Structure 1
Amino acid sequence: MKHILASAAIAVGLGGAAHAGCAGSEETCKTDMGEYHIALPDGVENPPALLFLHGAGGNGKGALRMKAALDRGYAVIGPNGLKRPDSRFGPGWSFHPDRPKVRDEIPFIREVIADAAEKHGVNPDKVLLGGFSIGGSMVSYMACDAPDLAAAYAPVAGSFWRPHPEMDACQAPVKLLHTHGWKDKTVPLEGRPLRSISTIKQGDVFYGMQIWRETNGCAGMRADTFDTSGDFWHRKWDTCDAGALEFVMHQGAHGIPRGWTDMALDWFEGLE
C-alpha cells in the first residue's frame, strides 16, 4: 500500500496549490467571530462544500490544497483557529469540554457557513465538516453537541479525549466517517497523555466509535460490512436506527492519506 501522508504542519489535504484568501481575494473572509478562507469551483452555482478544520499550528488556507474537492464541484472552506495563551503549538480549536474556551467554536462555524452561503452562494444544506488531528477532535465534539451543524462529519486522526462523553451525551444520530492511521503515534488509536505525567489524555478511538454506535442506535457492536480491497480498510454499520457510521483505517501514521478527499466525498455523495 503506497500512502503519502500530509504532515501535521500542513495539516490538511493533498493536491495542487490554491491561492489563500476569500474566493480569489488576497484577504481572508471575515465574520464577527473570526476568519476563514474559501475557494470556489468554476462554473458551479450553489455548490456543496467541504469545510475542513486544520490541526494544531495550522491555518485555514491549507484546506485550499484539497483540489480534488474543487475538481468535483465543491467549495472548499478553511476556517482559522485561534491561539490559546497556554499553547506552544500555535492556532488551534477550543475543543476540550473541560478546558477554558478561547472561542465558542460551534457558533463560529455556524457563522462561517451562513457567511459562505450569503456571500459566495454555497449550499448550507450540503456541507461536509471534516478536520485533521485536533481539528478532527473538534469535528467529533461538534457532531456530538450540534448534530444539525453540517450534513455529515468526517474527522481524520482526531476523536474524543478523556474523559470520554457519556454514552447518551450526544444530542442526535449523525452521519459520520472516521479515518485513522494504523501507525499513528501522535494520536494513537488507544490515545495517550500529552506528556508522561499529564492529566490531559487523548481518548480511545474504539471507545469513540462505541459512543457513535449508541448514538445512532446500531444493532450490534461488530460492524456489518468490511472492505479491505484497496488502500482504505472500511468497517461499516448498516443496521442502525438513524444516521450513517463508517470507520476507515489506512496503513500510514499521523496524517491525511492520499486519496482521502475523493474517498470521503464518495461516501458523502453515497448518503444521498
Structure 2
Amino acid sequence: MSGHMIRTLLTALFMSAAPAFAVGLQDTPCHAEVPCQLGDRSYHVLEPDGWDGKTPLPVLLHFHGWARQGDLIVKHGRIAGATRKRGVLLVAPNGLGKSWDFWSARTDDVAFTNAVLDDVAKHYPIDRTNIFVSGYSFGSAMAWRYACQSGNHVRALLAVAGTLNQSETCPQAPKEVRHVHGTSDTVMDFPFGPNNDTTYPVALWRAKYNCGAGIENGTWHITEHDTFTRTTWDSCNDGKVTLDIHSRGHFIPRGWIARQLDELLALTPSYP
C-alpha cells in the first residue's frame, strides 16, 4: 500500500471516530492541550466523556491562575475531572503573558472572552442557558471582572480564592454567585470585612443583588481534608449568593467545582 493510500485511510478513520463538531473546529483540529487559535490569541477546549457529538453542552469557562495557561486546565483533575464526568464542555482561554488584566473595566480580556465563547459556539452546540464562569487565584479575579462587565448571560460565577475590590460598581451580573476562599490565604488574601467579618468576600454581589441577611448553613465537607462553612443569600431581589469558607490557604479545594456543577445542574452529588 502506498504512503498516500495509508494517509488517506488514517484520515478517514479519524474523521469517522471523532465528533462532527470537534473535527470541524479548525483545518488542523484543536483539542485539549492543542490550542485553538483566535486571531493573535488562543484558548483550549475539552469535551465531556461520552458526548454524542450533537447534544447541547453546558459550558464551564475557566480562567487559569498566574503563570499558567489553558493546557494545564484541560488536564487538571479538580477542573477537567469535574467537567468530563458531568456532561460539561470545558473552555480555557489563554491570558496574555500568562496572566489577566482584571484591574479595571478597561481591560481587553472581557472582549476576548466573549469572542472565545462566540468561536466555541460555531463549532459546538452549546447550551446558552448554562454558561458557568470560573477561575482560580488571578483567574478568579478575572472571572469576577468578566461577570462584572459581561455577566448578564452567565448562569453562575464559580470563583476560587480571588476577588475584585468590594467597592467596584458592576454594570452586569450573573444569575448566581458561588465563591470559596480560605481564611489563611496569603496569596490572594481573604478579604476580611470590618470587625473580621467573614462574609465580606461577597459584599459586592450582595449589594448588587439587594440581598438581605444571610443564612448560616453550618459546616459541610466533600472529602475528609476540606471542611467548609457555608452562608447563603437566597432571598435577594436580583440573584443568589453562596459563600464557602475554610481555614486553609491558597488552593482549589478537592471536589468543590464538581459539587457546584452537581447542584446547579440538578445532578446526584458525587466525588470526584
Q: TM-score range by the shorter chain?
A: 0.7 to 0.9
In structure 2, C-alpha distance between the alignment counterparts of 1:270 and 1:246, rounded to whole Å: 16
Question: Which of 80, 86, 103 in structure 2 is aligned with 1:96?
Answer: 103
Q: Which moved more, 1:23-32 or 1:130-139?
A: 23-32
Alignment of 1:107-122 (within 5 A): 107-122=111-126
Shift of 1:207: 3.8
**Match of residue 72 from structure 1:** 86
**Match of residue 260 from structure 1:** 256
- Asked if 1 retains the 8 angstrom alpha-carbon contact of 2:145 and 2:164, the reply is yes
- Asked if 2 retains the 8 angstrom alpha-carbon contact of 1:62 and 1:78, the reply is no
**Match of residue 188 from structure 1:** 189
Alignment of 1:26-37 (within 5 A): 27-32=34-39, 34-37=41-44
Question: Which of 200, 210, 214 in structure 1 is aligned with 2:203?
Answer: 210
Distance 1:25 1:52, change over 3 A: closer
Which structure dedicates a bigger proportion of its chain to helix? 2
Q: Which moved more, 1:237-246 or 1:169-178?
A: 169-178
Report whether the alignment pairs 1:40 with 2:39: no
Distance 1:26 1:60, change over 3 A: closer
Which structure dedicates a bigger proportion of its chain to strand? 2
Report whether the alignment pairs 1:58 with 2:68: yes
- Asked if 2 retains the 8 angstrom alpha-carbon contact of 1:224 and 1:237, the reply is yes
Determine helix, strand or coil for the equivalent of 2:114. Answer: helix
Identity of aligned residues (%): 28
Shift of 1:119: 1.1
Determine helix, strand or coil for the equivalent of 1:144. Answer: helix
Report runs of 4+ in structure 1 exceeding 6 Å deviation.
none
One-letter identity of the residue aligned with 1:250: H
Determine helix, strand or coil for the equivalent of 2:128. Answer: coil
Shift of 1:170: 1.7
Report whether the alignment pairs 1:170 with 2:178: no
> Cα RMSD over matched residues?
2.5
Distance 1:72 1:208, change over 3 A: same
Once the two structures are superposed, residues 185-209 of structure 1 have per-residue CA deviations (whole angstroms, 9 ceiling, x without a partner) of 1112137xxxxxxxxxxxx985442
Gaps of 5+ in 1: 1-20, 84-90, 192-203
Report whether the alignment pairs 1:228 with 2:235: no
Once the two structures are superposed, residues 132-190 of structure 1 have per-residue CA deviations (whole angstroms, 9 ceiling, x without a partner) of 011101111222222225221111100014xx434xx2224531101111221111213
Q: How many residues align?
A: 223
- Asked if 2 retains the 8 angstrom alpha-carbon contact of 1:40 and 1:76, the reply is yes
In structure 2, C-alpha distance between the alignment counterparts of 1:68 and 1:109, rounded to whole Å: 21
Gaps of 5+ in 2: 1-27, 222-226, 268-272
Shift of 1:69: 1.3
- Asked if 2 retains the 8 angstrom alpha-carbon contact of 1:22 and 1:28, the reply is no
One-letter identity of the residue aligned with 1:52: H
In structure 1, C-alpha distance between the alignment counterparts of 2:198 and 2:71, rounded to whole Å: 28
- Asked if 2 retains the 8 angstrom alpha-carbon contact of 1:232 and 1:249, the reply is yes
Higher RCO structure (Cα 8 Å, ≥6 apart) = 1
TM-score, structure 1 as length reference: 0.74
Question: Which of 145, 159, 162 in structure 1 is aligned with 2:163?
Answer: 159
Shift of 1:24: 3.5
